[in-house]
């Protein structure tokens, strides 16, 4: 009997954030796509989430939403090694801080531009888009410095779960300039990690949903 189910969509960045640790752990789970041809999944998400958003994890009877909280739940109840969140409280606080950086200053800023193009692809608010792109570039600069001391290995922690989807889509909105070589290399490294690659490949059939340019190289 399946006790673990993830509600989401293969093209959704926050769904990837929850899928990456599930794939990394090899934990058995059922993916329940939130799409018009699966109205029961849509209805479930609408019923349990305060804003009807996904991903939503169902673990037995327990409902967990917010991608970060799903990762916190997986770290406690379906642990992997190395852990998704370090055992050392000081290291854990740093990892959680980086998670906020990726959600608040990369993913959600990228989404401002995407939302403008979804609203009207022929007439997006140019000033709003420009400001969001400048904010992304500022975040890239901060991350470039931060990466000076961050190891480029095969670890998957809360940091990688947050970074991979946000940097994947941010590049499509504001390409990472050559001034940020560490960030460019890290994004490529993240996309090569098997759980991330699986998300990228599973999302390919949905690229037509993206309202801006998407590079073939990805």
Ligand X SMILES: N[C@@H](CCC(=O)N[C@@H](CS)C(=O)NCC(=O)O)C(=O)O
Q: How far is CA 126 from CA 121, 148, 167, in A?
A: 11, 34, 22
Is residue 14 near ligand X by the rule CB under 6 A?
yes
Which residue has its beta carbon closest to ligand X?
53
* Least distance between ligand X and beta carbon 12 (Å): 4
Q: Which stretch binds ligand X (CB under 6 A): 64-72, 121-129, 150-158, 208-216?
A: 64-72
β-pair partners for 8: 33
Give the tokens for residue 166: 């946000």
User: How remote is the C-alpha of 198 from its chain's centroid?
Assistant: 13
With contact defined as beta carbons under 8 Å apart, do 54 and 14 qualify? Answer: yes
Number of residues counted as binding ligand X (CB under 6 A): 10
Q: Which stretch binds ligand X (CB under 6 A): 9-17, 85-93, 129-137, 205-213?
A: 9-17
Is residue 99 near ligand X by the rule CB under 6 A?
no
Is residue 174 near ligand X by the rule CB under 6 A?
no
Pick one of 5, 48, 53, 112: the residue that binds ligand X (CB under 6 A).
53
Is residue 54 near ligand X by the rule CB under 6 A?
yes
Is residue 13 near ligand X by the rule CB under 6 A?
yes
7: phi then psi, degrees, rounded to nearest 5: -95, 130
Long-range contacts of 42-46 (CB under 8 A, 24+ apart): 44/7, 45/7
Is residue 12 near ligand X by the rule CB under 6 A?
yes
Residue 50: DSSP 8-state: T
- Contact residues toward ligand X (CB under 6 A) are 12-14, 52-55, 66-68
């Amino acid at each position: 009997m399946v006790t673990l189910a993830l509600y989401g969509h293969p093209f959704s960045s926050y769904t990837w954030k929850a899928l990456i640790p599930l794939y990394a752990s090899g934990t058995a789970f059922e993916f329940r796509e939130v799409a018009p041809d699966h109205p029961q999944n849509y209805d479930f998400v609408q019923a349990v989430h305060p804003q009807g958003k996904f991903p939503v994890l169902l673990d037995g009877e327990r409902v967990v939403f917010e991608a970060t909280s799903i990762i916190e739940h997986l770290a406690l109840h379906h642990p992997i090694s190395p852990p998704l969140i370090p055992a050392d409280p000081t290291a854990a606080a740093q990892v959680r801080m980086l998670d906020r950086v990726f959600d608040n200053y990369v993913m959600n800023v990228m989404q401002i531009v995407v939302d403008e193009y979804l609203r009207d692809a022929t007439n997006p608010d140019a000033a709003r888009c420009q400001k969001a792109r400048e904010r992304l570039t500022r975040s890239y600069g901060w991350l470039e410095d931060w990466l000076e001391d961050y190891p480029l290995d095969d670890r998957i922690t809360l940091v990688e779960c947050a970074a991979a989807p946000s940097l994947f889509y941010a590049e499509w909105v504001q390409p990472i300039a050559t001034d940020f070589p560490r960030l460019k290399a890290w994004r490529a490294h993240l996309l090569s990690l098997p759980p991330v690659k699986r998300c990228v490949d599973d999302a390919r059939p949905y690229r037509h949903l993206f309202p801006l340019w998407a590079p073939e190289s990805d």
